[in-house]
Chains A and B, each alone.
Chain A
Amino acid sequence: MSIRAFLLVGILLARDHALAHDLWIERAGTLHTLAYGHERSGHVGAKALEYKPENVKQAACFNTAGQEIDALRGHAYPATLKGDCAASGFLTSSGYWSKTPYGTKNLPRNDAGAVIDSWLSVESVKRIDQWGEGLARPLTRELELAPLDNPLILQAGDKLRLRAWFRGKPVAGVTVAYFGKPRGVTDADGNVNIRLQNPGFQLIQASLDLPLNDDKADKAIHTGGLQFEIK
């Protein structure tokens, strides 16, 4: 079939680099802990990577109506959030990165010398533990995947129907991966469907490149993760 699939895979292959590391949230009771690495995906690499706690820009706890509620935030590594969250989320940014002939540096383009490519990294992740209609809408203005319906009642083999949001609006052209493997690109309405393959932990990631109009980087790479569990 399909040439459509070919075109799609071409896009997906080109975007794979943007999904090279994973953010996810480990939960123990009401304690939500931000983790980083490859433990939860098919990517090759260290299971856990340490991050700078100052890279964590936001952490928030939401009820089923999608309203932010009080939670206790831990600012040291690893970043934590303690509260009765229907959904929890973290926003991180490791800042500017520049690819040079001598390696990739955590510097803006104007400080990195000869630069081949440069970008601003903005990463977020959202975990859903209880469902409410309010969670079908974006909870932040960052790149975010929101299920159109309750994902917690799905089973392995079911399709998860998602909409990607950015700055509060549906966004097209977002690459969406399932456990690190790109599966599709959002349509004009921001929608994409992903089939859940196994029970248990689910991790879906979105990635969007946007050009930057400054001298620090060529573009901003926004990634947004969605995680939940099914039986």
Chain B
Amino acid sequence: MKALYIASLALAATPALAHHGVASLGSAGLEGPGAPVETSSSATLPENKWLGLVKLDYAKFRTGIAPAPEVDYNQYWMAGVGYGFKPWLSIYAFQPYNVKVDQVGGLNSHGPTDLSLAAVIGFKYDQRFMLVPANESLDDLRDWHFTVNLGTSLPTGNANHRLSDGSIDPSKSPGFGKSSFNYGMTATKQFSENDTAVFEVNQIRFQKYRYDDGNTMKFGTEIRLNAALSHRLMTRPESKFRLDGNLELNYLVLGKDSVNNSPDDGSGGDILYGVLGMRLYQDNMSVGLALKKPVWSKLNEPAGSPQQGSEGKEKYRFVATFSAMF
């Protein structure tokens, strides 16, 4: 059960941090700053432009360890749309769809989860702090750029989804019952013609929800500290093609869950992921591909009751994004 709680944190991360899927923001700049796959960059949408995106985060879990994660694999899908109301203000809506498959004999679930909304406010430093202007030269794009992100989910998913045995497992429910809230900042600096550094800090907070079976759950707060380097590998201006390689470190701090108002000592922990990815740009489209693996973890595992959590025990995560501007 605890394993599934942890798995649900991953589930939570997708809708609540849906702007992660906008890491590229359709970033198709042939000479501008690069954009990692997992770490959100400090890009905003041009005024009156739309962005459409699809993201898949496929998490495959380890086997042959004790205690073994109950989950076999999860697929976190997400479709989103964004609009640039101002050069410095972008608004996004995301609809996730999750598939969670257990090991043989387990209980699976799938379905659309909570719709989420996010606002991204962009600013930069050029002699002074200022909102991102409508027009920037390639040299202006090399200034430090920042965003402040604010988001919330709406409880549109079915939090009381019954599994095939009639039970409710919050970690497998396609909804959280109540809104979650996330906020964060990003900083981006293109420090050479081909290299860009991106930093991100983000927090998600959840609310307590009472399920139809009478149990309550408050998922632990998540904090993410991400850093990334993007290197432009190839540019073909005549065909508007660009290829970047990305190296990222994603540090995830998971707070303990609270079950029926009692802390779950076997939940939460710290995990450091290494991410190796690439991003292709063609015309107004961008595709990001990344392989993500936990390289270090310190999970909360009380003596005699080791955590059975799945996050931090992935064999690998494969992340793919597609975005297009129109």
Contacts and interface: CB of A to CB of B under 8 A. Distances in A.
A131 B198 CA distance: 39
B28 A6 contact: yes
B135 interface: yes
A194 B32 CA distance: 14
A193 B46 contact: no
Contacts of B190: 1
Nearest to A8: B138
B212 interface: no
Interface string A154-186: 000001000000000000000010000001111
B141 A4 contact: yes
B103 to A, nearest CB: 41
B141 A5 contact: yes
Interface centre among A3, A7, A188, A193 (most CB of B within 10 A): A3
A185 B142 CA distance: 15
B41 A1 contact: yes
Interface of A is mostly: mixed
B240 to A, nearest CB: 7
Contacts of B281: 6
Contacts of B35: 1-2
A187 B140 CA distance: 12
B165 interface: no
Contacts of A3: 25-29, 43, 45-46, 49, 51, 284, 325
A152 interface: no
Interface in B3-50: 25-35, 41-46, 49
A1 B31 contact: no
Interface residues of A, number: 24
A5 B138 contact: yes
B308 interface: no
Contacts of A194: 137, 139
Interface string B35-77: 1000001111110010100000000000000000000000000
A159 to B, nearest CB: 6
B46 A7 contact: yes
B213 interface: no
Given A13-B237, A187-B134, A4 B32 contact: yes
A75 to B, nearest CB: 38
Nearest to B26: A3
Interface string A1-27: 111111111100100000000000000
Interface residues of B, number: 40
A195 interface: yes
A183 B43 contact: no
Nearest to B324: A3
B21 to A, nearest CB: 15
Contacts of B41: 1
A204 to B, nearest CB: 11
Contacts of A192: 135, 137
Given A6-B284, A184-B139, A1 B43 contact: yes
Given A1-B188, A3-B51, A3-B284, A9 B29 contact: yes
B139 A193 contact: yes
A184 B140 contact: yes
Contacts of A10: 240
Interface string B95-135: 00000000000000000000000000000001000000111
A176 B34 CA distance: 23
A46 B100 CA distance: 65
B137 A2 contact: no
A3 B281 CA distance: 10
B141 to A, nearest CB: 6
A3 B43 CA distance: 8
Interface in B261-300: 281, 284
A6 B32 CA distance: 7
A183 B137 contact: yes
Given A6-B32, A183-B139, 11 more contacts: A1-B141, A1-B145, A3-B28, A3-B43, A8-B136, A9-B29, A9-B30, A183-B137, A185-B137, A192-B137, A194-B137
25 contacts: A1-B29, A1-B188, A2-B27, A2-B35, A2-B44, A3-B26, A3-B27, A3-B28, A3-B43, A4-B141, A5-B31, A5-B141, A8-B32, A8-B136, A8-B138, A10-B240, A159-B126, A183-B138, A184-B137, A184-B138, A184-B139, A186-B135, A188-B134, A192-B135, A193-B137
Interface of A: 1-10, 13, 159, 176, 183-188, 191-195
A-B pairs with lowest CB-CB distance, top 8: A184-B137, A5-B32, A5-B29, A187-B135, A195-B139, A6-B28, A1-B43, A1-B33
